[in-house]
Chain A
Amino acid sequence: MDSHKGVLVCGEIAEGKLAPITIELLGVGRKLADELGEDLSTLLMGSKTGGLGQETIAYGADKVYVAEDSLLDNYNSDAYTQVAADLCLKVFPSIMLLGHTDVGCDLAPRLNGRLGGGLAMDCLALSVDPATKLLVSTRPVFGGNAHATVVSRSARPQMATLRLKTVPPAERNDSRQGQVIPVEGKIDPSALKVRVVDRIKEEVEGVKLEDAEVVVSGGRGIGSVQDFEIVRELARVLGGAVGATRPACDEGWTPVTLQVGQSGKVVSPKLYIAVALSGAMSHIAGCLGSKYIVAINKDNEANIFSVAHFGIVADYKEVLPALTAKFKELLSA
């Protein structure tokens, strides 16, 4: 395993640019590489990677491996796995980092299965143990109700996917020097077993739950599909998105795509307003990253108050209309 050296970031390109997660990974990857006294390299895949190699160097990479192939323009699990695995078997990275994105969630475990490494998914922090020089990955378990640290003693590469926005992006320095290295070898089309037939973009009405600065979520206590409109109205006035707990979705009051929690979406808005929901472990898992959590519940014993920053103990039907009206007034002023 001493033959494994360096940190390799698996980059992602979104609309011709380096994806934000990749710039974040370059920041943390640079730090890990410096602590180990080793190189930071990056793999970029796609046919339009043009100037991105130099940009990746500006963000901290020493070497950028560029795999140019139109088969790599969109994510293809078989093709990406093949290219990334081949590169790992050439450069033997000690650490490999990916984003916890659609791509990383698919590619990382598969690559790990092929390479026999050690992988920690959805990490919140990455560091090097000063004594052992091992990668220490901190990740949420049990829906974020506990944190575990994970190491790979002998399996290589040590792999991790990093959750978005958990580290600051790398700083750009255009005077940095580095090497852009084309990846040799063509993709073997016979290894592409799964065919991408179509890609469908779904338009969401209003603000997307994951991107919203404000999320207003309702729980079982809302009581009916009609009353959920009170929650929607507050979200509309705040320019935010509507969320719901699993029981509220199970009741059919909102589409299941709006479920916040362990089995739904994980959100981290500036403001999360939790209305008439008790705060089960699985729900809290989806909103703990919010900057401010507000709880409105008539039961002062409800668990949601234990994670909230502000709360009102009262029936939501007596609170929300006044809250919505006041926000409307304040925001129009």
Chain B
Amino acid sequence: MHTIVCVKQVLDPEIPPAKFKIDPEAKEVIPPPGVPPVISVFDERAVEAACRLKDKHGGKITVISMGPGNVADVVKHAISMGADEGFVLQDEAFESLDSFGTAYVLGKAIQKIGGYDLVLCGRYSADWGAGQVGSILAEILGIPVVTLACDIEAVDEKLRVKRIVKDGYEVLEAPMPSLVTVSSEIGLPRLPAGMRLMIARRAQIPVWTAQDIGPESSQLDKANAHTEVTSLSLPTRKTECEIITGDNPGEAAVNLALKLIKLI
């Protein structure tokens, strides 16, 4: 079984909000100094899902990541978890693409890799969180899609996917190849250790540019973007925190209860 996982490198969402700064003119986030970017949380779960399938059925995991800078780091992280190989998609033409542009480039790379049974993506990214690249990618590849997976199994050449819904889950059966987007309910990702870390460190991660995957330039033209971000702002928070006190913490608690009981 050959699984291709799409992963994205994002600003670490575990930082304290005080470190979060934006440039409203450029409509971009200013990366906080000294905080290394990380693999997007749902994408890491997607790698975990791929590893569990490989543990059970064998096969191969290929990881791709599109982005500027050191995105090879997130590909290596996936390899340290159990992926076999990875590619970075990097080109000036790939920067600031909308969801359609992103899905188009990923689709071109996946078609170049070929021979896959399953494509996995996170349900949305922890940064811009557009929440649509996976589904658009499936339409581009012309394969079925199942979203919000909390469990993926391979049974008799088919995929059996549990999909999270409001009051429980659905069990869906999809043919191979299909695309599945993974939710955090799938469970914690494994911690890389020992040999895997060494393999990842030594892994060569080829970089594919636009030339390597041959996109039509009109698909990457910003003038043809399907969506455009017209402003980025920090939401105004009017709250002023009222610190409740007392002679001791227990008394402060009593005062807090008396205050809250009027509000609920």
Contact = CB atoms under 8 A, between A and B. Distances in A.
Nearest to A245: B14
17 contacts: A102-B148, A119-B99, A119-B132, A140-B235, A150-B228, A152-B228, A193-B174, A194-B178, A201-B167, A310-B242, A312-B243, A318-B249, A320-B253, A322-B251, A323-B257, A327-B261, A330-B258
A148 interface: yes
Highest count of chain A CB atoms <10 Å: which of B17, B42, B147: B17
B16 A303 contact: yes
Given A199-B170, A309-B241, 4 more contacts: A146-B29, A146-B234, A200-B170, A313-B243
A326 B257 contact: yes
B261 A330 contact: yes
B131 A312 contact: no
Contacts of A264: 184
Given A105-B148, A122-B129, A199-B168, A312 B249 contact: yes
B199 interface: no
B229 interface: yes
Interface residues of B, number: 88
B13 A280 contact: yes
Contact of B241 (A198, A199, A311, A322): A311
A42 to B, nearest CB: 21
B15 A310 contact: no
Contact of B253 (A118, A303, A322): A322
A131 B37 CA distance: 39
Contacts of B132: 108-109, 112-113, 119, 121
Contact of A311 (B185, B187, B227, B242): B242
B217 interface: no
B184 A263 contact: yes
A112 B130 CA distance: 12
Interface in A233-269: 238, 246, 250, 256-257, 259, 262-264
A55 interface: no
Contacts of A331: 261
A110 interface: yes
Interface stretch (B76-84, B138-146, B202-210): B138-146
B13 A282 contact: yes
A281 B13 contact: yes
A312 B251 CA distance: 11
B254 interface: yes
Highest count of chain A CB atoms <10 Å: which of B103, B136, B229, B256: B256
